[in-house]
Amino acid sequence: MAPRSLIAGNWKMNGLRASAAEVEDLKARMGVGAVNCDVLICPPATLIGTVASAAGGSVIATGGQDCHPAKSGAHTGDISAQMIADMGGSFVIVGHSERRSDHGEDDGLVNAKAKAVLDEGLIAIICVGETEAERDAGRTIEVVTGQIQGSLPEGGTAANTVIAYEPVWAIGTGRTPTTDDVAETHAAIRAELKLRLGSEGDGVRILYGGSVKPSNAAELLSVPDVNGALVGGASLKASDFWGIIAACP
């Protein structure tokens, strides 16, 4: 049986305290127990507490967009998985391509961050994805499976680990791979997870991310081995995010 889908919003560096209104709006649209999928919002660190309290009483979970591998210490500007949990977060995105490119994060560091998330009892969303040059060179599967081998920590299970496949060239560009391409890459990710985790690998959710919006969500979410979406721009407005949640099969 396919795992329950997860629709995760990644607000990136967007949002102020007033953005709690979007969470209230989403809550109202979702009603009580009417959705087919799990729903998550990952706001900037400054808003984790705000979003967690606005989401209170609903099934909307809250998460962080990054964390340091250590629990605490002399790391100016960083936050830990423990701090995210303390603010009401239950998920942490690690290894997003913007972290990998803007901050030079490699698989080893992403692995350590994911391990810190699991050690805290939270769920890690580990991001992988090829650049346009890698895709043009026919290296998509090799790059993505290599990132999983390097970034998936010991102790990863279907319950505490989610993989997000986000082609770097599709993020924020309005471009998406064909559904055949998404199916091929997700199948390769599933095979890699089963190699590593055995039958447990069948239960790990594999999200697609990159220019998901209400108008293409139903098509992308119906691809085999797509168990939800990681949504950037279209997660900022409750009306758009709801359009994607409602498209969940």
Q: Are 165 and 129 in contact (CB under 8 A)?
A: yes
Task: Note if 105 is an active site residue.
Answer: no
CA distances to 114, 141, 215 from 162, rounded to whole Å, are: 10, 18, 24
- Sites of contact with ligand PGA (CB under 6 A): 10, 166, 171-172, 209-212, 230-234
Q: How far is the CB of 209 from ligand PGA (least distance, A)?
A: 4
Please identify, using beta-carbon distances, which residue of 60 and 82 lies nearer to ligand PGA.
60
Q: Are 169 and 131 in contact (CB under 8 A)?
A: yes
Q: How far is the CB of 129 from ligand PGA (least distance, A)?
A: 9
What does the alpha-carbon distance between residue 235 and residue 26 come to, in Å, rounded to a whole number? 10
Q: Which of 105, 130, 166, 192 is catalytic?
A: 166
Q: Which of 22, 96, 105, 186 is catalytic?
A: 96
Task: Note if 130 is an active site residue.
Answer: no
Largest CA distance in the chain: 48
Instruction: Kindly compute the dihedral angle of the four CA atoms of residues 124, 129, 131, 136, in this order, to the nearest 10 degrees.
Output: 170
Please identify, using beta-carbon distances, which residue of 8 and 55 lies nearer to ligand PGA.
8
Please identify, using beta-carbon distances, which residue of 9 and 201 lies nearer to ligand PGA.
9
Beta bridge partners of 63: 91
Q: How far is the CB of 21 from ligand PGA (least distance, A)?
A: 21
User: Any idea which residues carry the catalytic annotation?
Assistant: 96, 166
